[in-house]
Structure 1
Amino acid sequence: MNRPRTASITEILPPLHLDRLADRDWDQSCDVLVIGWGAAGACAALEARSQGAEVIVADRFTGGGASAKSGGVVYAGGGTRQQQDAGFSDTPQAMFDYLKHETRGVISDDTLRKFCDDSADNLRWLEGHGARYAHSMPAGGKTSYPADGYFLYYSGNELVPSHGGEQPPAPRGHRTVGKGQCGAVLYGHLKDACLRAAVQPLLQTAARRLVVDDTGRVVGAQLWRLPPGSREAREHARLAARAERWQNFAPGYCDRLRQKISQLERDHGQPILVRARRGVILSTGGFIFNRDLIREHAPKFRRNFKVGATGCDGSGLRLGQSVGAQSERLSRVSAWRFINPPFCWPKGIVVNAQGQRFCNEEVYGATLGQPLCEEQGGQAWLVLDARLRKQAIRQALFGGYWWFQSLPALALMLLKVRKGENPDRLAQVCGMQSGELSGSLQAYNAAARGEIADAFGKSESSRQVLDKGPFYACNISVDNPVFPLGALTLGGLTVDENNGAVLDDNGRRIAGLYSAGRTAIGVASHLYISGLSLADCVFSGRRAGRACTGIDRNADHFIADPLVSHQASAGAPIEQGSPHERTC
C-alpha cells in the first residue's frame, strides 16, 4: 500500500526483520537516527547530542526542507525578552488561553500548558545556538509577514475580539533576525550548531524502510544514498535547488523536475543499513506534495498551491504506518488566503459564489482560507467600493510591502477585476444570486455605521461603509493564478505527548520509534497561525531527542537498549565501534 502512483514520491517498503540480518550487514551504527533534517530534526539531533548520544541525521536532500523555505517565524510568548523590550506584558497563562481557542483540543491541556510554559526558554535555546530575535514592530496593523527591519508582530488572531482572551493581546510572532524570508537564516544556525556538535549528516539519503526485531521494536533503517560527490549527486542537487526556487512561478515544470530527481534516486541510490541503538526519530515534514494522499484524505485542497519542500511527500508518515503506526487528522490542511496587506483590505467584505458573506475579514489568513476551501468550494470574492479600492491601490504601491504582497494585490485589483456600477450589477457580472450581494452590503454597512452589531464580530476599526460606486469584486478563489492560495498539511502520526513516541492503532507505544514536527500530531495540527509550526518543531524535536537518549518523562525511567542490557548483565563491556554495536 506504500507504493506511490506518483513517480516523484519516495517509495516506502515493508519493514526489514532483524532475523534476516547478520553482523556484517550493518553499515553504520549510532544511538539515535534522525530521518529528516529540517528544524524539527535539527532540534531533535541537538537535544540528543547534548545528552551525550551519538547521532546520525539522514536527509533525502541537503537539509532544511520546508523550514528553510519558511518565514523563520517562531511563535513564542509568556514574557520573552523581546516582548518586554517592546513594552508588552505577556504570561504563559495568557498564551495558553489564546492557543486553547486556536488549537481546539488537538493536544491535551497539560501538553499545551507545557508548550506555553517552555516557550520563552525554547526561544532562548534557539538564541543559544546562534539565532537572533529583536523587538522592533511594524506600524499600520496586522500583516502576513513584516518588512525587513521588523521582527516582532501579531502573527495570528490575537487582535480579533472573538479570538482573544481576557488579557490584553500580545504579539508573539518572533521573526528570526535576517533579511528576506528568514527560514533559511534560522535553519542555517541550527545546521551549523548540529555540525559543531558532531552530529553526523548523511545527505542525499532517502529512508525507504525501517528495521524491526522480533518484538516489533524499531532498531534501525535502510536508506538509499546517492554516491557522495558523484555526477548523479551533483545533478540531483541542481534539480532540487531549481525545483524549490521556481515552485511559486512554474509548479508544473517543477513537478517534472521532481520526477527526474526520483528517477536519479531509483537508478543510482545505494542501500545502506544504519543501526539505531536507542531509537529512530521521524521528522520529514508533511505530505502536501503527495497527491495520492491529498486525493484520498483532503480532496478539497487538490487545487491549492503547495506550500513546502519537495521532501514533504509523507515519507515519514508512511514509514510509521509501515510498522503499524496510528495517524490522525490527515484531512486537516491549512489553506492561506491572506488579505492583509494592503492593510485596508479587511475593511471590504468577502462573499461566496452566491454573494453571501461568510467570515470576519480581519482574521488570520488560514482562519479565512480553511472555510473558503472546506465549505465554499474554493470560490470567493473580495468586494470593495471605489473609495476602498483607491486606498488599497495606494497602499500596495507606496506602503513598503514585500513584492510578494504588493504585486499580487495590484494584479488582483487591476487585472480581470469584475466591476459594476451598483451591487446588483456587480452580482450579475459575477454570477451571484440576485439580491444576495446587496443584502450582504446593506447589513455590513449598517454595522459599519454602528446601527447593528457586525454579524461576524469584526472590530470597529476594521469596518468601513462601502457605498461609493462603482463596486469591484476581486477574485480570491483557489483557482486564480495571479493570487495563489497556498496550503500545507497538518495531520500526521499519533504520538505519546509526554515523549514523542509513536503509537500504534491500539494506542500502544512502538518501541524505538519517535516523531516530531509536521510528521507528527502537535500543537499546530488543528489550524495554523504563523510561527506555530516552527515553535512546535523546537518543542517536539527537543522532546523526542531527550526521550530517545533514554529518559522517559512519563515513566521516569531509563529505556534500556536490549543489546546493551543483555551484555551488561553478562559482564561484557560494549566498546564504541566494536562488533557488538552492529548486532542485536
Structure 2
Amino acid sequence: MSQSSNAPATSADGTLHIEPALVVDGANSQWDLSCDVLVIGFGAAGASAALAAQKTGAKVIVADRFDGGGASAKSGGIVYAGGGTPHQKKAGYEDTPEEMFKYLRMETGDSVTEPTLRQFCEDSRGLIEWLESMGANFESSAPPPKTSYPKDGIYLYYSGNEAVAEYAAVAKPAPRGHRTRGSWLSGKAMFEFLRAEVSRVGINTMTQTAVRRLITDKDGKVLGAELWQLTPGSKEAIQHDKLIQKAEKVFNFVPAWADSLRAKARAIEMAHAKPLRARANKGVILSAGGFIFNREMVAKYAPKYKMTMRLGTAGCDGSGIRLGQSVGAVADKLNHVSAWRFINPPIAWPKGIAINTKGERFCNEQVYGAKLGVEMCEFHDGKAWLILDKKLRKIAIREALFGGLWFFQSVPALLLMLLAKRGKTAQELGNKLGIDGAAFGRTIDAYNNAITNNTADPLLKSNDYRAALDTKLYALDIGAHMSCPAITLGGLRVDEKTGGVLNANGTTIPGLYAAGRTAIGVASNRYVSGLSLADCLWSGRRAGNTAANS
C-alpha cells in the first residue's frame, strides 16, 4: 500500500492530517490486522474503553500516535466522584448521588440529559472502586481544603464551587475531588495503573501509530481504519519520540519552538510510517482528546480563547473529532472551552476584587478558577485585573514564599505581584490601567461599604473571603494572555446510552463510537477539576461495553 498522495508533507505545528474516509468492498477487501474493537487514542478514555471491551471477551487493538497517556497523564489525576465514597465518609462528609446530581446540574446545564447525569452520579462510587481494584489509591491524610490543587498528602478536596453560597443553597456541599495518591501531578500515576492493567490483560497496544482515515463500506458503516505506524525500535521511531518529548517539556515556555519540534516529528511520520489496514468487526472507538493544540480549529470555533495557553499534549489536535466528521458525524459545543484563572492560592487573593476594563467587578472572586476564567474570556475580552491593597499583597507574598505551595502556584503569584501596577488612589491606578478611574473608585467604595455595613456581597462572596481595601492599591494583570491554561470541551454528538456517534439526522453511524473529550459529555458545558477525567473514564467504559456487545 502506498502513502496517500493528498497528505501534505509538512505542517506548521505538527497537527495530524485527516483524509476522507476510504470506501471499500467489505466482503472482498484485504486487511493487515483484525480485531473486534479498535480504540483510537490511548488516554484515560481509550484505556477505559479497551478494558471494558476486553472484559466481555472482545479482541481489542489500541492505537496511539505517540506513547499513550495523552492529556490524562499530564493532568492532576483528579477524579470527580461522590455519592458517598469511602473517602468522603472517612473524612466525615455525608454525600448522596442526589446531592451530587443537584450540584452538577448547576455546573453542567444541558451538556447531557437528566437521566444520563443521574446515571453518571449513581455510577460514581463504583468508578472509584474500579480504579482502586487496579491499584489506585485516593486515601487522604488531611482535611479537604479549597485550592486550585492540593499539596501531597491531601487527596480529597473541594475541587469546584460546592461551598460557594449560590451552589450550597441548592446542594449540600461535599468535597468530591478525589486525587490519585502520588507525588507532584498525579495524572501520570493514575494513567500508569490503567496502562498496567491494559498490559496485564493482554490488549494489543500500538504506539507511534497515527490514524489518518477511517474505512467504511458503501453504506457508510465504519469497518475499520488505516493506521500509519513507525517501525518499533527504528531510528526514525527513536528520533520521533525524542522530538515529542522535548516539545512536551518546552511548550509552556516557548510554544513556537515546541510547534516546530512537533512539525519535525510529523515529517518523520509522513516519510517513514508504514500503512496498515485494521478491520474492526464490532466497532471503532474515537478517544483522541480535544483540539486545544489545533490553533486553526481554536481560531474557527473558539476565537475568544486564542490567547490562552494550551493545556494537554500534541495529540489534542482534534484528530478524533475530524475523523468522525469525515464519515458524516456532527460536532457540537466546539466553542466551549475551559480557561483556568485561579486566584486561590494565595488565600488572600480572593479577598480582593477582580475588575474588567470598565473598572467593575464581574465575578465572585471566591469561585472555582475555570468559572472566573470563562467569565473573563467570554464576556470581557479576556482582560481583567485583581485588585489588592498593601496588607493583602504582603500576606500573599509571605504565603507564596513560605506557605509550601506548588511552584506552579507560588512562582506565577510572585511574578504577578512584582509586576503589579500600583496607585495611591483608585483614580491614579485607573489612569495607569487605562480604565475609568471614577467608576473604579465607585466599585471599591461599594465593596468596602458592604463590608463596613455588614450587608451581603452583591456577587454573593462569603464573608470569609471579604476584606475592605485600603487606599494604596495594586493591580495584578490576570488576563488570558498571562499564562491562562485552557482545554476544549466540545466534541462529537453521541447517543447517551451507547456512546454511538450521531450523524446530522440524529441516527448513529454504524460501527462508530466516541468517548472522552472527542465526544459531547458531562463536562462539555463547564468544567470543575476532575470532571473531565471522570467523564473520560465513565464514557470510555460505556463505549467499550456497547461496541463489544454490538
Please indicate, yes or no, whether the TM-score normalized by the shorter chain is above 0.5: yes
Other-structure match for 1:582: none
Q: CA deviation at 1:22?
A: 4.2
Matching of residue 437 in structure 1 with residue 440 in structure 2: yes
Partner Cα separation in structure 1 for residue 499 and residue 223 of structure 2? 17
Other-structure match for 2:279: 275
Matching of residue 253 in structure 1 with residue 263 in structure 2: no
Q: CA deviation at 1:447?
A: 2.0
Residues 493-518 of structure 1, C-alpha deviation per residue, up to 9 Å, x if partnerless?
00000010000011000010000000
Confirm or deny: 8 A CA contact 1:83 1:135 kept in the other structure: no
Structure 2 counterpart of 1:146, which letter? P
Other-structure match for 1:575: none
SS in 2 for 1:84: helix
Other-structure match for 2:477: 475
Q: What pairs up with 1:133-172 in 2 under 5 angstroms?
A: 133-138=138-143, 141-172=145-176
Q: CA deviation at 1:247?
A: 1.9
Partner Cα separation in structure 1 for residue 325 and residue 225 of structure 2? 14
Q: CA deviation at 1:349?
A: 0.1
Other-structure match for 1:115: 120
Q: CA deviation at 1:73?
A: 0.2
Other-structure match for 1:13: 19
Partner Cα separation in structure 2 for residue 330 and residue 154 of structure 1? 28
Residues 83-116 of structure 1, C-alpha deviation per residue, up to 9 Å, x if partnerless?
0010001000000000000001110000000000
Other-structure match for 2:289: 285
Confirm or deny: 8 A CA contact 2:11 2:266 kept in the other structure: no
Correspondent of 1:412 among 413, 416, 419: 416
Correspondent of 2:100 among 95, 110, 120: 95
Q: CA deviation at 1:214?
A: 2.1
Confirm or deny: 8 A CA contact 1:211 1:221 kept in the other structure: yes
Q: CA deviation at 1:136?
A: 2.8
Confirm or deny: 8 A CA contact 2:12 2:259 kept in the other structure: no
Matching of residue 516 in structure 1 with residue 515 in structure 2: yes
Confirm or deny: 8 A CA contact 2:79 2:534 kept in the other structure: yes
Q: CA deviation at 1:138?
A: 5.0
Other-structure match for 2:369: 365
Partner Cα separation in structure 2 for residue 495 and residue 26 of structure 1? 28
Other-structure match for 1:465: 468
Other-structure match for 2:69: 64
Residues 509-561 of structure 1, C-alpha deviation per residue, up to 9 Å, x if partnerless?
001000000000000000110000110011100000100111xxxxxxxx3xx
Structure 2 counterpart of 1:217, which letter? K
Partner Cα separation in structure 2 for residue 400 and residue 539 of structure 1? 34
SS in 1 for 2:138: coil
Query: What is the total number of aligned residue pairs between the two structures?
Result: 544
Change (3 A) 1:21 1:204: farther
SS in 2 for 1:488: strand
Correspondent of 1:299 among 287, 300, 303: 303
Structure 2 counterpart of 1:433, which letter? D
Residues 397-426 of structure 1, C-alpha deviation per residue, up to 9 Å, x if partnerless?
111110110011011101x21010111111
Partner Cα separation in structure 2 for residue 242 and residue 267 of structure 1? 20
Change (3 A) 1:109 1:400: same
Partner Cα separation in structure 2 for residue 2 and residue 66 of structure 1? 26
Correspondent of 2:192 among 173, 182, 188: 188
RMSD: 1.5
Q: CA deviation at 1:353?
A: 1.7
Matching of residue 236 in structure 1 with residue 230 in structure 2: no
SS in 2 for 1:162: helix
Partner Cα separation in structure 1 for residue 504 and residue 7 of structure 2? 17
SS in 1 for 2:95: coil
Confirm or deny: 8 A CA contact 1:61 1:203 kept in the other structure: yes
Change (3 A) 1:535 1:450: farther
Partner Cα separation in structure 1 for residue 524 and residue 221 of structure 2? 27
Q: What pairs up with 1:503-542 in 2 under 5 angstroms?
A: 503-542=502-541
Confirm or deny: 8 A CA contact 1:49 1:55 kept in the other structure: yes
Matching of residue 487 in structure 1 with residue 486 in structure 2: yes
SS in 2 for 1:435: helix
**Structure 1: which 5+ residue stretches go unaligned?**
551-558, 560-584
Q: CA deviation at 1:284?
A: 0.2
Confirm or deny: 8 A CA contact 2:140 2:153 kept in the other structure: no
